[in-house]
């Protein structure tokens, strides 16, 4: 287990602020030891909650050119055929993973290949399960030409708590399955779009681990 680089500055600043607040409490409220201790305990809990947002556990990953790995930790909330309007402009199979506040927020490449398309979209912060979050929230869209051949689209989507999406890929990059392609601070959902003939390997409500759980198999 390690702390992700995206959280180090936030954690450092948070620690300084909480320490300063505790020093002020103990200085101006010397006579009320119980209240001071309760306040100190509350700040420790706050810091630990923020700390767990930025944990980055080690994962035992494998690579296979026609298998897609989960791009994030969380729960499968959508498996359906939908019209994908941004890049494919046709019907695709969508698999969506919801990341709760207690999940790891690292996002990983579901498959190896060449990045054919990338775009960042500023937007709103609707709750991640809102039907319009995929098209109206802050998000990124990545399309990879997989080593197996088919194109795969995956999308980071911010939620009600998330206010910052980070990405590490650009058009023309070669990406490797399981490696980090980004981070969603404090949330919240990743959508994957695959060809209609892809075989889904997960079920609605199933909990998955990014970089470990196989979510579908491409037809090649």
pLDDT at 7: 67
Q: What share of the chain is helix, strand, coil (3-state, %, to 5)?
A: 20, 35, 40
Active site residue ranges: 188
Nearest to 40 by CA among 28, 64, 15, 22: 22
Q: Give start and end residues of each alpha helix (H) in 54-137.
A: 133-136
pLDDT at 197: 94
Task: Please state, in angstroms and rounded to a whole number, the distance separating the CA atoms of residues 38 and 177.
Answer: 46
Label residue 51 by pLDDT band (50, 70, 90): confident
Q: Which of 3-12, 58-67, 157-166 is predicted least confidently?
A: 157-166
What's the whole-model pTM score?
Answer: 0.79
Mean pLDDT computed over every residue of the chain:
86
Q: Which residues pair with 31 in a beta bridge?
A: none
Helix (H, G, I), strand (E, B) or coil at 187: coil
Taking residues 77-97, what's their average pLDDT? 95
| Per-residue CA distances from 153 to 79, 191, 214 (Å) | 15, 8, 16
Helix (H, G, I), strand (E, B) or coil at 39: helix
pLDDT at 140: 92
Taking residues 191-206, what's their average pLDDT? 95
End-to-end Cα separation, the chain, in angstroms = 36
Task: Please state, in angstroms and rounded to a whole number, the distance separating the CA atoms of residues 165 and 154.
Answer: 14
Q: Which of 42-46, 130-134, 199-203 is predicted least confidently?
A: 130-134
Task: Please state, in angstroms and rounded to a whole number, the distance separating the CA atoms of residues 160 and 21.
Answer: 27
Q: Which residues pair with 155 in a beta bridge?
A: 141, 191
Nearest to 169 by CA among 102, 101, 118, 110: 118
What confidence tens digit (pLDDT) does each residue in 128-187 have? Answer: 555 565 666 788 999 999 988 899 999 999 866 556 788 899 999 999 998 888 888 766
């Amino acid at each position: 287990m390690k702390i992700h680089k995206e959280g180090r500055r936030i954690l450092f600043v948070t620690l300084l602020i909480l320490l300063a607040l505790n020093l002020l409490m103990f200085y101006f409220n010397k006579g009320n030891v119980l209240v001071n201790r309760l306040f100190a305990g509350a700040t420790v809990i706050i810091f630990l909650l923020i700390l767990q947002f930025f944990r980055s556990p080690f994962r035992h990953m494998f690579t296979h050119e026609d298998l897609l790995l989960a791009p994030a930790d969380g729960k499968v909330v959508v498996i359906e055929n939908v019209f994908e309007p941004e890049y494919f402009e046709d019907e695709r199979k969508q698999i969506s993973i919801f990341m709760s506040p207690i999940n790891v927020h690292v996002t990983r490449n579901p498959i190896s290949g060449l990045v054919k398309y990338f775009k960042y979209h500023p937007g709103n912060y609707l709750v991640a399960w809102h039907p319009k979050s995929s098209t109206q929230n802050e998000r990124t869209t990545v399309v990879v030409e997989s080593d197996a051949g088919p194109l795969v689209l995956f999308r980071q989507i911010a939620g009600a708590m998330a206010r910052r999406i980070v990405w590490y890929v650009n058009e023309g990059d070669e990406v490797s399955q399981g490696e980090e392609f980004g981070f969603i601070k404090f949330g919240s959902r990743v959508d994957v779009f695959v060809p209609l003939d892809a075989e889904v390997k997960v079920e609605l409500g199933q909990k998955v681990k990014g970089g470990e759980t196989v979510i579908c198999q491409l037809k090649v």
